[in-house]
Structure 1
Amino acid sequence: MSNTNLQEKVNQIIAEGYQVPISELISNGFKLFNKNMGNFVVFTLVYLAIVGLLNVIPVLGTLGSVFLTPPLAAGFFLAANRTQKEGNAELGLFFKGFDYFKPLVLRSLTFLGIAILLMIPYAILVYDSDFAVWMEAFTSTYDPEMIETFPGFPAWYINLTLLPLIYFSVSYLFADMFILFYGAHFWEAMECSRKLITKKWFSFFFLVLIMGIIIGFSALLCGVGVLFTLPAYSCAIYLAFYTITRMDEEEEDEVMDHLIV
């Protein structure tokens, strides 16, 4: 789909409005996951192992995470799409996110840049606050009694960074799928996602929050539960994208074009 057509499609959806049935999306997300549970669980295990390994490697691990995590995470959406269409998705398909390596990584780097920019005012305020003085004194003495004198931060310090960061994190939920399923440029994908989700931002926020709580509780089961809830979350987000962007209409148009040709 061309850039102009995609923008027009997004604007049309925003103008016409849409619904975000949270409970239905979560329920259907688990149902979609159940159709291909074995491969979803195996890939989630591989995904978590790679991400976990990267997190314990200083510096290089962080760098590797920026380049490896986006295409790996995209595998959940690709598999959800194939499972929805055909009832199954082979394990190899989960790694096809690397076919979209460049735009996915550029999207990830751009979001990282936005997050860093949002942190700058917070860092300046912290540097000029009593915390900087306290930290310097604490690191020079390591006196445990100094913990009682920890200055803390005014709530607006944290809100200055946290609230915008939460907004963008939720707003870019669809960015990778615009890249995967509509062939969008990374910035176009981010903007389309932001504009579309902002229409019903709080609905998406609560969808993510509820699924986050479910994943959190599942992690208490020795972490095993995450192997089921994490891919189910990805399936729920995919189904939201599929429904809202009317991918079924795109697929019908492709079939008709094929028949006409």
Structure 2
Amino acid sequence: MNQAKIQRIIESGVDFNIGDILGKAWEMFKSRALFHIGFMVLIGAIQASFTLYLLDYSSLYSIFLAPALFSGFYLVANRQSQKVYIDFQNYFDGFKYWLNLVTTNLFSAIVIVLGIICFVLPGVYLLVGYMFCLLFVIFGGFDFWTSMELSRKLVHTNWLKFFLFGLALLALNIAGFLCMIIGLFVTVPMTYLAVYILFEELTIDAIDEEPKDPVIYV
């Protein structure tokens, strides 16, 4: 992924249709529903294990396991988009980027919390702004600070639209929770698929002609 091309995209500004993104996420989810639900069940089981038996270590799960696990949805979404063969083990490919994902997730969370402490609004701005930071780590190969800044700058070009997109995803997951919680096994994967689809559509012109990583938008 070419950083100069990303900068040009940022300078030109971005726009998108929220309904279209959610519709594409639903279609992507349906095409591999059993895989997505199965992996979400696995994540739920891991989270439940920490809550029930390892509560004192639950922060370790959030810091060291969750970023790589949930990034599995991004990586499988990429393979779906490129019509590449998918195996269930591909959901664990996030651990190939483990250190950078953990670092980026931790630092972005710290900055967001500091922003919330500073009159709340800066935290809300950054919470939306860092929507794509993990994706820039995985598909761009950037370090944590570059990924955070590229994400923030990209979102800043149309922050209100991204905020509304985030609200739509929140409403989707609230609906999933209200469906006897089981609905979250559908809505959480859809959330990650939707974020990936939006990221791909916005940054597709920044892809190098000969990417070094074969997973990146072949």
Output the TM-score relative to the length of structure 2.
0.89
Structure 1 equivalent of residue 66 of structure 2: 69
Unaligned 5+ residue runs, structure 2? 212-218
Of 91, 94, 106, 1:94 maps to 91
Q: Distance in 1 between matches of 2:84 and 2:98?
A: 26
Residue 243 of structure 1 pairs with residue 201 of structure 2: yes
Unaligned 5+ residue runs, structure 1? 122-159, 256-261
Number of residue pairs the alignment of both structures matches: 210
Residue 221 of structure 1 pairs with residue 217 of structure 2: no
Q: Distance in 2 between matches of 1:9 and 1:199?
A: 15
* Residues 20-51 of structure 1 deviation map (CA, whole Å, 9 limit, x = unaligned): 21010011111111111110000011112223
**One-letter code aligned to 2:102:** V
Q: Secondary structure at the match of 1:76?
A: helix
Q: Distance in 1 between matches of 2:115 and 2:169?
A: 26
Q: Distance in 1 between matches of 2:48 and 2:123?
A: 23
Residue 10 of structure 1 pairs with residue 6 of structure 2: yes
Q: Secondary structure at the match of 1:209?
A: helix
Deviation at 1:117, TM superposition (A): 2.8
Deviation at 1:116, TM superposition (A): 4.1
Structure 2 equivalent of residue 234 of structure 1: 192
Deviation at 1:214, TM superposition (A): 1.5
Deviation at 1:84, TM superposition (A): 1.4
Residue 50 of structure 1 pairs with residue 12 of structure 2: no
Q: Distance in 2 between matches of 1:119 and 1:169?
A: 9
Matches within 5 A, 1:24-63: 24-55=20-51, 57-63=54-60
| Deviates further, 218-227 or 191-200 | 218-227
Residue 207 of structure 1 pairs with residue 165 of structure 2: yes
Structure 2 equivalent of residue 140 of structure 1: none
Aligned-pair identity (%): 30
| Deviates further, 95-104 or 60-69 | 60-69
Taking only aligned residues, the RMSD between alpha carbons, in angstroms, comes to: 1.9
Structure 2 equivalent of residue 167 of structure 1: 125
**One-letter code aligned to 1:17:** G
* Residues 172-211 of structure 1 deviation map (CA, whole Å, 9 limit, x = unaligned): 1111111111111111111100100111111111111112
**One-letter code aligned to 1:250:** I
Matches within 5 A, 1:126-145: none
**Bigger Rg, structure 1 or 2:** 1
Deviation at 1:119, TM superposition (A): 5.5
Deviation at 1:18, TM superposition (A): 2.0
Structure 1 equivalent of residue 216 of structure 2: none
Q: Distance in 2 between matches of 1:115 and 1:54?
A: 25
Q: Distance in 2 between matches of 1:237 and 1:120?
A: 27
Structure 1 equivalent of residue 78 of structure 2: 81
Note if contact 1:71-1:95 (Cα within 8 Å) is conserved in structure 2: yes
Structure 2 equivalent of residue 104 of structure 1: 101
